[in-house]
A and B are shown apart, each in its own frame.
Chain A
């Protein structure tokens, strides 16, 4: 590739933006907003540029840039991108400008936007880091802006939710930090020197079975909290419900993906044998998460909390696909990560709009909105159907691939998990029915129709939902080679054999 360090620029751009926003006088709210918006749009443009320059059919890392950072400890600034991370980067790049442009924090714009951009830098950095230490730095730094976003701009119980979020994630990170150091120290024998380089350790590292399992466990705890996997998910509904709309969107769409991405990149890739060994545990937890999330969602009275629990269920599918370890399932789960970001992100935006209008999210207080706001209801319906996974929309492609691919290697788990699809239809449609159908009562009669600005905000979501649903090939073409590469790596370093679909039939 060209020598231009595009990924470095991509990561630093929002960080610089955060600094700029912090330096602008708070008496110039317009300038603050323009600075933040321009910066996030440029970052988004850069992410799209990476997408277009990305060579499809290549399994390995592209746009790699590596510079020494902390030489004494064998730590380098090592960035790279492959099919597993490319769409997460693009999703991040697209979502932030939309959220910055479309969602109003109501107070302290300057600090809010500054934290937002710092968050973006942290997330992008996590997705492109190829050094364990560097990844940890970004993974942890993400906590700080998110903590302040929830704590500063959230709803009534925000301090509790923010603190819970921070501490839960930090417990996971505590294990991961020790795991990272132990991995690097133990791989010293294989590499000849201490290095935190992900690729070197993954290629050369030869951990004894027991050691590998402990190390995998240390990483997996951190990611299981982040995903979140049952039973570590209890922070999520609180954080989602209390976070401001913009925070919820980013949390659901991008932050949770740090967990699923981490499981693939720093779990399966780094410790293939241990990951294969731990499969049953993860498949089971994922399946429980799918059902638990779905059942809990059915019982919610708060619309935002319902969407939050639906996230738990969707993330269960992603983890199920990851640990099914077949090409289709892993590809599907990577894709589902993006789809979930779009559809749940969209749902949180819409729920945010409902709250802005009615100052409540109680399902029982909303009624008959379809009559007074048909366009709003239509948009909600489409995003919701995408979340359910209706064929022709994006959600279907990922979920179908996960179920199809997992059938060969995780048959009984899939049988149980598939009921989650039906439950998803149940809780979503039931909620829709209660909120939008029927005759609006006095409180809901004046529910305003979707405004132009809101429509423009939702348009990219709808476009991606339909386009990916109808024509997923461009995405699959870029994801699949890297997934295949990853699975070959797993086969080489463990006893795992990836079955083809034909074998699965027999």
Chain B
């Protein structure tokens, strides 16, 4: 009996080093919470700089691990629960960048709004852990845990601006709808388990290969499971028609949190989606491919058109983010064409490249919105940007670069991202979705032009001078500067990054 117990409780061997980026983030978050609670308030900037340091450490570990993946190849971790491969490391690095930039955005913001404290930084790191788990999961239940860790932290962060009723509303809305989508996902996982006998990706494929024969392929239970999983993941990436939470949450949440949401959560959700579709369910690709196609087209067209009619910049950017999700789905669609095939998958790498580039772009863009939001974080309608070009030419110039990049103008990273997914789509002969995507980009361009016109061209109105001046504190300036620099560098010299994308 004793021997049996020892046998069953023997834990899997754990490669601690491979998990180190997660552990660093966890340690950082704990340290910040515990020490922050016991010590007198930290000096200005200290919490943000600590978070940046932790994120950089985690990112550097990611780079080191990248080298290891290259040398020793991918493998499974923690008894087959997590995967250690290039996608995992890519997600680690992207999320580390997102934490660092978001922390810089948050630094002055929380003081300006009078809500400072270590909580939001700790939540960034904790939710990042969930994101990384999503990006490396090899099991539906682990993936679900990742989603929950990411989301619950995000719910709290969305509601973290205690003085704004919109922030509370965003938190509640995100929580209810997010819970709803988690339920979909979990039900889907249960049905897949029922149909295949496992929630582990490797075993799901194995089940198909060994005992699910041709007629089980069209098993309604598995198909329903696939559909529900897709619904759950589409909620997370905010694809039309599962996007309803996004505009309200993006608008209501504190702007730096919105930036973090649009970057880190998106890369995690897309990595997870690619994993589920390509690694767990490649045999059903013929069934779900049309669904992905439809999601892509609806998100592209719906996101762009709805973005155009908005007057609030945060809301515009929310819808534009939906349209960008459509672009990433074009990459996913291209990737699932090659589901099950071995060898390089252009759609896969193009999607992940897009998520990284978009993450940096959107962090910079929301950085500018953070500054323009002014005290109270409420000055985010188009009028608030009026005359910005005259008051703050440098900031406006940076914003212009970021917006042009979002519109996909060449020599910016946004063009490289779009080119990548369109190329992947054309490679697998998905011409229709490629053209729809480019036309949707034209519609979306109108929205970025509107913001630029407001900043540069629109004549000042009476009362403009009485508005609070737009302040750009140093950490925010650094974050926006880095984002703009990255946007331009990748625009001119994208080769190395494209080469790296898994």
In contact, A178 and B434 (Cβ under 8 angstroms): yes
In contact, B410 and A166 (Cβ under 8 angstroms): no
Asked if A449 CB lies within 8 Å of chain B CBs, one says no
Please, how many angstroms separate the alpha-carbon atoms of A141 and B492 in the complex? 13
In contact, B435 and A178 (Cβ under 8 angstroms): yes
List 9 A-B pairs, minimum CB-CB distance, nearest first: A174-B438, A137-B410, A170-B442, A181-B426, A70-B495, A140-B410, A178-B434, A72-B498, A181-B423
Q: A167 contacts which chain B residues (CB < 8 A)? A: 442, 445-446, 449
B interface footprint on A161-185 (CB within 8 Å = 1, 0 otherwise): 0010011001101110110011001
Asked if B419 CB lies within 8 Å of chain A CBs, one says yes
A interface footprint on B442-482 (CB within 8 Å = 1, 0 otherwise): 10011001000100110000000000000000000000000
Please, how many angstroms separate the alpha-carbon atoms of A150 and B442 in the complex? 19
Q: How far is the CB of A402 from chain B (nearest CB, A)?
A: 33
Q: How far is the CB of A44 from chain B (nearest CB, A)?
A: 24
Asked if B60 CB lies within 8 Å of chain A CBs, one says no
Please, how many angstroms separate the alpha-carbon atoms of A16 and B290 in the complex? 48
Interface of A is mostly: helix
In contact, A174 and B441 (Cβ under 8 angstroms): yes
Given A137-B410, A178-B431, A185-B423, the answer on whether A171 and B439 have CB atoms closer than 8 Å is yes
A interface footprint on B410-425 (CB within 8 Å = 1, 0 otherwise): 1100010001001100
Asked if B404 CB lies within 8 Å of chain A CBs, one says yes
B interface footprint on A123-154 (CB within 8 Å = 1, 0 otherwise): 00000000000001110110110011001100
Interface residues of A in 54-104 (CB under 8 A from B): 69-73
In contact, B438 and A159 (Cβ under 8 angstroms): no
In contact, A151 and B456 (Cβ under 8 angstroms): yes
Please, how many angstroms separate the alpha-carbon atoms of A30 and B155 in the complex? 55
In contact, B409 and A143 (Cβ under 8 angstroms): yes
Pick from A70, A144, A151, A171: contact of B442, CB below 8 A: A171
| B interface with A by C-beta (< 8 Å) | 404, 409-411, 415, 419, 422-423, 426-427, 431, 434-435, 438-439, 441-442, 445-446, 449, 453, 456-457, 494-495, 498-499
In contact, B445 and A137 (Cβ under 8 angstroms): no
Pick from B439, B457, B494, B498: contact of A151, CB below 8 A: B457
Given A141-B410, A159-B457, A171-B439, the answer on whether A178 and B499 have CB atoms closer than 8 Å is no
In contact, A174 and B411 (Cβ under 8 angstroms): no
Most buried by B among A163, A167, A174, A185: A174
Q: A177 contacts which chain B residues (CB < 8 A)? A: 419, 422, 438
Q: How far is the CB of A171 from chain B (nearest CB, A)?
A: 5
Q: B427 contacts which chain A residues (CB < 8 A)? A: 185
Pick from B410, B438, B453, B456: contact of A178, CB below 8 A: B438
Pick from A136, A148, A170, A181: contact of B456, CB below 8 A: A148
Q: How far is the CB of A309 from chain B (nearest CB, A)?
A: 26
Q: A174 contacts which chain B residues (CB < 8 A)? A: 435, 438-439, 441-442
Please, how many angstroms separate the alpha-carbon atoms of A173 and B404 in the complex? 15
Q: A181 contacts which chain B residues (CB < 8 A)? A: 419, 422-423, 426, 434
A176 nearest in chain B by CB position:
B438
Interface of B is mostly: helix
Please, how many angstroms separate the alpha-carbon atoms of A141 and B491 in the complex? 12
In contact, B423 and A151 (Cβ under 8 angstroms): no
Q: A137 contacts which chain B residues (CB < 8 A)? A: 410-411, 415
Q: How far is the CB of B313 from chain A (nearest CB, A)?
A: 17
Given A69-B495, A174-B435, the answer on whether A163 and B446 have CB atoms closer than 8 Å is yes
In contact, A166 and B449 (Cβ under 8 angstroms): yes
Please, how many angstroms separate the alpha-carbon atoms of A159 and B441 in the complex? 20
Please, how many angstroms separate the alpha-carbon atoms of A69 and B494 in the complex? 9
Please, how many angstroms separate the alpha-carbon atoms of A72 and B497 in the complex? 10
Q: How far is the CB of B113 from chain A (nearest CB, A)?
A: 34
Please, how many angstroms separate the alpha-carbon atoms of A158 and B456 in the complex? 13
In contact, A178 and B426 (Cβ under 8 angstroms): yes
Please, how many angstroms separate the alpha-carbon atoms of A286 and B496 in the complex? 45
Q: How far is the CB of A408 from chain B (nearest CB, A)?
A: 37
In contact, A152 and B456 (Cβ under 8 angstroms): yes
Q: B426 contacts which chain A residues (CB < 8 A)? A: 178, 181-182, 185
Q: B439 contacts which chain A residues (CB < 8 A)? A: 171, 174
Could you name 8 residue pairs across A and B whose Cβ atoms are closer than 8 Å?
A: A72-B495, A137-B410, A140-B415, A147-B449, A159-B457, A178-B431, A181-B434, A185-B427
Pick from A140, A143, A159: contact of B453, CB below 8 A: A159
Please, how many angstroms separate the alpha-carbon atoms of A174 and B444 in the complex? 12
Please, how many angstroms separate the alpha-carbon atoms of A136 and B431 in the complex? 19
Q: How far is the CB of B304 from chain A (nearest CB, A)?
A: 12
Pick from B404, B438, B449, B498: contact of A70, CB below 8 A: B498
In contact, B438 and A73 (Cβ under 8 angstroms): no
Q: B456 contacts which chain A residues (CB < 8 A)? A: 148, 151-152
Given A140-B410, A170-B442, the answer on whether A71 and B495 have CB atoms closer than 8 Å is yes
Interface residues of A in 17-72 (CB under 8 A from B): 69-72
Please, how many angstroms separate the alpha-carbon atoms of A166 and B443 in the complex? 11
Please, how many angstroms separate the alpha-carbon atoms of A45 and B435 in the complex? 41
Q: How far is the CB of A66 from chain B (nearest CB, A)?
A: 16
Please, how many angstroms separate the alpha-carbon atoms of A181 and B442 in the complex? 18
Q: A185 contacts which chain B residues (CB < 8 A)? A: 423, 426-427
Please, how many angstroms separate the alpha-carbon atoms of A181 and B429 in the complex? 11
Q: Given A72-B498, A140-B410, A144-B404, 20 other A-B contacts at CB below 8 A?
A: A72-B499, A73-B419, A73-B495, A137-B410, A137-B411, A143-B409, A144-B409, A151-B457, A163-B446, A163-B449, A166-B445, A170-B442, A170-B445, A173-B438, A174-B439, A174-B441, A174-B442, A178-B426, A178-B434, A185-B423
